[in-house]
Amino acid sequence: MNTGTELWLFTVSVAAGALGGMLGMASGIFIVPILTLWGHVDIRSAIGASIVSVIACSCSSAAPFLKGRLTNVRLAILLETATTAGALSGVLLVGTIPVSYLFFIFGVILLISAQQMLAKRRDPALAPILSLTGRSTTWRLDSTYPDRTLGRDIAYRVQRLPIGMVLMYVAGLISALLGIGSGVLKVPAMDTALRLPIKVSSATSNFMISVTAAASAGAYFVRGDIVAPVAGPVALGSVVGAILGARLLMSISNERVRLLFVVVLVALAAQMLVAAFGKDWFRGIA
């Protein structure tokens, strides 16, 4: 592999890592199509590189998010139990449902999520204080985060936790069935069901991603699907991109983050619907 190719891999990984890190999504959902469609990289090598990039992206942006008090660690650990259970269920169901049906269902879910996120919601900073009762208080899930655009800390409350747990289970299930990262579903679920600020949703989802990716990285490594000349530049670029994405997330407003996420959801929904009708581009995306 020549220097020009490695530089191209690094550059596209910086962009994918920045977008993935800022939105709390697995960067592999961007990297795999880019590597396979434009880089002409073998799909298995692209998937292996994407898994490495996901781990690198999550770990490198975790520190800035934690330092910036955006990540809700308690909530992340609780939600990850539901996501893992869903992923295990999905593994058992792999092969029982036609992939084209799954892509179609997933595309529709993404469109619905985009519509709900786009719907105008009250700014959490202006919402009235709710009575602090229920599971979120019992498990100390409520917290605050600093909003640089407002110049003060914003308190938020985790709402409708049972619904959120169900949605996390579904996210893990679909993730395992389609072989894609569940971050694209986790963030809308936390934003619309749990009523978290979009920045907290993105940071918390990013914290959770590496757990799932690390679990599958060993299997890909044993099979020889992680090719160092491809995975190396991709991982390095993802680290740089994730750090940039973390800084961008902390400096821009909630509504701009939400709008960007909606744009990405619509684009991915369109690609999934295309895949449902014969273009299986996204199978195995981490």
Sequence letter at residue 186: K
Banded model confidence at residue 279, pLDDT cuts 50, 70, 90:
low
Domain residue ranges in the chain = 3-276
- pLDDT for residue 184 is more than 90: no
Question: Could you tell me if 189 and 158 are in contact, meaning their C-beta atoms sit under 8 angstroms apart?
Answer: no
CA 129 to chain centre: 29
pTM reported for the whole predicted model: 0.73
Residue pLDDT, tens place only, 66-104: 888 889 999 999 998 898 888 788 767 766 777 777 778
Residues pairing with 146 in the sheet: 153
The two three-digit tokens of residue 8, written as one number: 């191209």
Q: What is the pLDDT of residues 212-229, one digit of tens each?
A: 666 666 666 777 778 888
Residues 6 or more apart whose Cβ sits within 8 Å of residue 231: 45, 48, 49, 52, 53
